[in-house]
Amino acid sequence: MARASLTGVSAAKEPNPARRSQRSRRAVLEAARELVLEVGYAKLTIEAIAARAGVGKQTIYRWWRSKGAVVFDAFLALSRGGEEEPIALPDTGDIEADLKTVMRATVAEFADPRFEAPIRALTTEIINDPDLAAQYREKLAGPVDEAKKARLRSARDAGQIAVDADLDLALELLYGPLHQRWLHRSGPLTPEYADALVDLTLKALRP
């Protein structure tokens, strides 16, 4: 943010990240993760996170903008166990089979009760906070989407889907229906559903 250096108006002096306590940071993120599962996102409070983490409230306010930012960070840290190697989807040459593998896994994840609370928490936050939505796209969805698009590109090169296919749109076609069904709880999330989505999408993208 570095407001001071940019504007010269600074009132709130910036904390020095070099001196940040990693112990506290980790305790906060872990407490946030636990509490989202225990009480749900809506009933999650900064106060409870601080207490559970054994951390002063100020420490949280010092390093995060909002409750949403903490939760976001918590699941960001979780989803990438720190690893940095690029994500890659299976590529057997058979785009249909590969996509079904991936979509079945995704559907299973969405149907898993243990993912329920955190994903809903994240989604709630993203809806109303454009900043977090941007971060989400950049840090979480982005890399994954890139991997998916890479696989689609490879299929396009292999002539399995139309050369002029809009890959962003293709992803939306795959994941949008699933996301909506999950969000509105408007139907079952089964492997068959995953397969059907892949079939339809591939038919739509056919050359």
Partner DNA sequence: GGATAAACGAGACGGTACGTCCAGTCTTATA
Partner DNA sequence: TATAAGACTGGACGTACCGTCTCGTTTATCC
Contact residues toward a second copy (CB under 8 A) are 40-42, 120, 123-124, 126-128, 130, 133-134, 136-137, 141, 166, 168-169, 172-173, 175-181, 183-187, 196-197, 200-201, 203-206
Assess contact for 118 and 33: CB atoms under 8 A: yes
Tell which positions 38-67 bind DNA, by CB under 7 A: 43, 45-48, 54-59, 61-63, 66-67
Interacting partner of 127 out of DNA, a second copy, none (Cβ under 5 to 8 A depending on kind): a second copy
8 A C-beta contact, residue 151 and residue 182? no
Among the listed residues 13, 114, 184, 203, the single contact to DNA using CB under 7 A:
13
| CB-CB contact of 1 with 14 (8 Å) | yes
DSSP assignment letter at 185: T
Do you know the residue count of the chain? 207
Cβ nearer to DNA, comparing 54 with 188: 54
* Window 66-85: residues binding DNA (CB under 7 A): 66-67
Nearer to a second copy, 56 or 90 (CB): 56
Q: Which does 135 bind (CB under 5 to 8 A by kind): DNA, a second copy, none?
A: none
- Both tokens assigned to 125: 């936050």
Q: Is 68 exposed, middle or buried (0-12, 13-18, 19+ CB in 10 A)?
A: buried
Nearer Cβ to a second copy, position 89 or 133? 133
19 part of the interface to DNA, by CB under 7 A: yes
- Residue 141 binds which one of a second copy, DNA, none, with CB within 5 to 8 A depending on kind? a second copy
Tokens encoding 200: 């339809």
- Nearest approach in angstroms of CB 5 to DNA is 14
> Smallest distance from the beta carbon of 64 to DNA, in angstroms?
9
* DSSP symbols for 26-92: HHHHHHHHHHHHHH-STT--HHHHHHHHT--HHHHHHH-SSHHHHHHHHHHHHHS-S--SPP-----
The answer to whether 189 touches 119, Cβ cutoff 8 Å, is no
**DSSP class of 194:** H
Least distance to DNA, CB of residue 22, Å:
8
Number of shown-chain residues binding DNA (CB under 7 A): 27
- Helix, coil or strand: residue 187: coil
Binding positions for DNA, rule: CB under 7 A:
13, 15-16, 18-21, 23-25, 27, 43, 45-48, 54-59, 61-63, 66-67
